Amino acid sequence: MILEQHYLACLSHASYLIGDETTKSAVVVDPQRDVERYVESAKRQGLAIERVFLTHFHADFVSGHLELAQRTGASIHLGHSAKTEYASSPVKQGDRFDLGSVVLEVLETPGHTLESISLLVHDKSIPAAPHAVLTGDALFLGDVGRPDLLVAEGVSAEHLAGLLYDSLHSVLARLPDSVLVYPAHGAGSACGKNISKDLVGTLGAQRASNWALQPMAKPEFVRQLTRDALPAPGYFALDAKLNRSTRARLEKVLESALRPLSLERVLALAAQGALLLDTREPDDYARAHLSGSMNVGLSGRFASWVGTLVPPDRKIVIVANPGRERESALRLGRIGFDSIEGYLDVSAASEAVRAAPGKLARAHARVGAAEFERILDEESDVVLVDVRSPAEFAAGRLPGSINFPLETLPQSMASLAAQVAPGRQVALHCLGGYRSSIAASLLEAQGVRVRADLIGGFSAWHAAGLPVQR
């Protein structure tokens, strides 16, 4: 048996290649949109990818089922209640797919979504118990999938939470303790509240530690699962729709996105409403950037933050360091942000930018903890803004700070501006300095002056032994 987990850390997404060494048959489960890794792995091992399974219509990324079907001729399989625009084959409880010595068995596990399935993996050479279960978003390590993503379609979170209770306690919990649990997401995913950093674990360990598998009545489970739900990121509805639909293949999207643009063309597109998305790192961005551009560096959870903060239908121009434009476009494509007009190479455009200095924004300072403290102590016109989450803010904060979480900053911009009187400036920080740079770019685009951005964020401040309120 071959069972490979392919983990994409920037989206906290796990996908799987399962094959049989003897028959050379293989399947892929919940693939990412850029499918080269599965094709290359299968080729290296002499495997033929015959089927693609989606455990459900994922909302946080665009799946690569159409790309794989085109590349390999594989058939596409989903739970029987799924309705798709493309050709797909429905599966139901108990359906079995024999690869040779490896057998996949379908378990219906609705709750995160209505069509959710899990796949039980049997190894015929060890018949005593199943080897593993691929749970999609029904069961994570340490948590379960959120049930509120179909509210806009008229399906209540409470109804789905009740279905998930039954899936967990009547289906998955009946499996032996030795079964390995392979979920579709890890820590950091917005599909759950408190997912573990582990990428695989036994069902027995989950039975002992996962709150959702503890003995409790269904009403109590529903109450716990549906309380304190954070709003879903704005791009989730787009991706769930794209995963049901016939859409452009990724290679076609990249062909359009990877067109070099002149500075004049970039400025004309910006005047027409396109977003200038600067994907350089915060230090580079702070030194100089185009006025009105937004900074989301490639070193962090780039696609997730773009999807959270940018309307899905907005046209985008990528501003990137030389050679980084493809990665920028690819990572946007993974979440279905396909409306990319082209890119501006920062190096190639530098002479043109210097010839048009009015198009450059005034650089803002990125400073260490000691200088940040001096600014707060000595400059009376500075408003201290913490852009971390409310939970992070409650656990420990800089004295005198006010909390405007980055994920809701576009909606709360007017409220923040009201607290920054004319003539005053903002000093920003997050946990490590990544989110605060994004916030600085959003504020500058709205005319709010940024005095300083804390390098290393709250972590650097705390490590320097500076005062913290709790």
Cα–Cα distance for residue pair 274/367, rounded to 1 Å: 31
Q: In whole angstroms, give the CA distance from residue 314 to residue 106.
A: 39
For residue 341, is it left (φ>0), alpha (ψ between -120 and 50) or beta?
Answer: alpha
The percentage of the chain sitting over the pLDDT mark of 90, rounded to a whole number, equals 84
At position 86, the amino acid (one-letter code) is Y
pLDDT-based confidence at residue 362 (cuts at 50, 70, 90): low
Cβ pair 106, 143 in contact under 8 A = no
DSSP assignment letter at 258 = T
| Integer angstrom CA distances of residue 377 from 312, 397, 455 | 41, 16, 18
Judged by average pLDDT, the poorest of 37-51, 280-294, 337-351, 399-413 is 337-351
pLDDT digit string, tens, across residues 125-143: 888 899 999 999 999 999 9
Give me the residues paired with residue 89 across strands: 77
Cβ neighbours, 10 Å, residue 149: 26
Q: What is the pLDDT of residues 172-199, one digit of tens each?
A: 999 999 999 999 999 999 888 889 999 9
For residue 214, give both structure tokens: 């503890």
> C-alpha 241: how far from its chain's center?
16
What one-character DSSP code corresponds to residue 443? H
| Full-model pTM | 0.94
| Alpha helices (runs of H) in 167-217, residue ranges in sequence order | 203-209
* Residue (of 84, 218, 109) closest to 171 by Cα position: 109
- Give residue-wise pLDDT tens across range 299-352: 999 999 999 999 999 999 999 999 999 999 999 999 999 999 999 988 766 655
DSSP string, 56-78: S--SSS-B-HHHHHHHH--EEEE
- Work out the number of other CB atoms within 10 angstroms of the CB of residue 362: 10
pLDDT in tens, 399-421: 999 999 999 999 999 899 888 88
Query: Three-class SS of residue 36?
Result: helix
Helix count and strand count (H, E) for the chain: 17, 21
Q: What does the pLDDT average to over 205-210?
A: 96
CA dist., res. 102 & res. 99, Å (int): 5
Cβ atoms < 10 Å from Cβ of 223: 13
Whether 350 and 372 have beta carbons less than 8 Å apart is answered as no
Q: Give all domains of the chain, ordered by start, each with its CATH number.
A: 2-238 (3.60.15.10), 248-359 (3.40.250.10), 365-463 (3.40.250.10)
What tens digit of pLDDT does each residue of 459-468 get? 999 999 999 9
Is the Cβ–Cβ distance between 119 and 134 less than 8 Å?
Answer: yes
Contact yes or no for 182/132 (Cβ under 8 A): yes
Cα 283 to Cα 454: distance, rounded to the nearest angstrom: 11
The yes-or-no verdict on residue 51 having pLDDT over 70 is yes
Q: What is the largest CA-CA distance in the chain?
A: 74
pLDDT digit string (tens) for 363-401? 689 999 999 999 999 999 999 999 999 999 999 999 999
Closest of 177, 176, 212, 183 to residue 200, by C-alpha: 183
Q: Which two tokens stand for residue 406?
A: 């980055």
pLDDT of residue 82: 96
C-beta neighbour count of 388 within 10 angstroms: 24
Residues 6+ apart with CB under 8 A from 338: 248, 253, 257, 332
Query: What average pLDDT does range 111-118 have in this prediction?
Result: 97
In the predicted structure, residue 258 carries a pLDDT above the cut 70: yes
State pLDDT tens for residues 139-167: 999 999 999 988 878 889 999 999 999 99
| H or E segment to which residue 270 belongs | helix 263-271
- Give the number of other Cβ atoms within 10 Å of residue 391's Cβ: 10
